Amino acid sequence: PHAIIAVPRFDRYQEISSQLMDTLADFSPRVEALSMDEAFVEMTGAERLFGPPREMGRRIKQAVREATGLDISVGVASTKYVAKVASAHDKPDGLTVVPAAGARAWLAPLPVSRLWGAGPKTVPRLHALGLLTIGDVARANAGRLGSLGAHFHALANATDPRPVHRTHVAKSIGSDQTLVADVSRREDIELHLRRSADRIGRRLRAKGYVARGVRVRLKTRRFQMLSRQCKLQRPIDLGGELLAAGQSLLDRFGDAGPFRLVGMAAFDLAVRDGDRQLDLFEDLAARELETTVDDLMQRFGRGVLMRARDLAESGTVVGDGVNLDYLERVDGPA
């Protein structure tokens, strides 16, 4: 009589799953979905964009929380198998980093049930052979382990050559900023919108995408999420063009502020055609500027450049995990 019946909402599950995968695709073009709520992300070479492995994991967790409201567990490792085991090591809301050099030792004390593919029938057989831990399997003769012996022996020794296969193509690329203090002035909202537009533009160009739609999201101090979107006359991938579309959408929010979250997303994505005819309306100087900034950030990190107009009155910039203090405010073109 006290049973609580929860009706499954598969449409909602799918919606959240898509948001999760799209968020992961913001970090890497190679996302392999394992289930609705689990995926591999290839982050090789992304250190200059997102920092060392632990910082990468922290940023992914934060981005997923902001996009979906959910806490996730992240495992960072040099192979798919070790990353999967690491992601389940400290649930819920965990972050486990296993360096390649220590992966075999980290796996060793874990039970054999943590071997990928060791199910209810296999585990008792391993126990019967006196193999209780992954370390036991690593030291065993692979020939003793049956038809899957080579597979289990390789995993136990932290060997897993399988690459991450791209199974998810982002439907949108977004950037939301949760603010320390609410904002209501148009110029303050546009400042945060500009930062989002720049980030989204960089991600679009890095992935070879163009967007045919732009969405602006604003969250009020009462946690009401408001959204306005528009389709574009031509596909774009420049931060300046994204900002212009976002600014036009701001006019449609009225006086709903103040706001504590400002965000933007580019949607209806398509692969950019590198051989396409030049667009008569494209600002070639703006493209050269933004692609030059891309190159500099790729070489020296995301904090190497910033817009002068992003400096606050105090002369302090806070963004992309970088704090830079200036003695005086710098004015001039961005």
**Catalytic residue positions, numbered:** 38
Neighbour-count burial for 248-266, b at 16+ CB within 10 Å, e otherwise: ebbeeeeeebbbbbbbbbb
Q: Of 60, 72, 69, nearest to 23 (Cα)?
A: 60
CA 49 to chain CA centroid, nearest Å: 12
Spatial distance between the Cα atoms of 263 and 177, rounded to a whole number of angstroms? 6
Q: What's the angle, vertex CA 266, arms to CA 261 and CA 271, rounded to 5?
A: 155
Backbone angles phi, psi at 200, to 5 degrees: -65, -40
Q: Cis bond leading into 92, ω under 30°?
A: yes
Of all helices (H) and strands (E), which one includes residue 74?
strand 74-76
Rounded CA separation 230/188 (Å): 22
95-97 and 74-76: which strand pairing? parallel
- CA dihedral over 230, 235, 238, 240, signed as positive or negative: negative
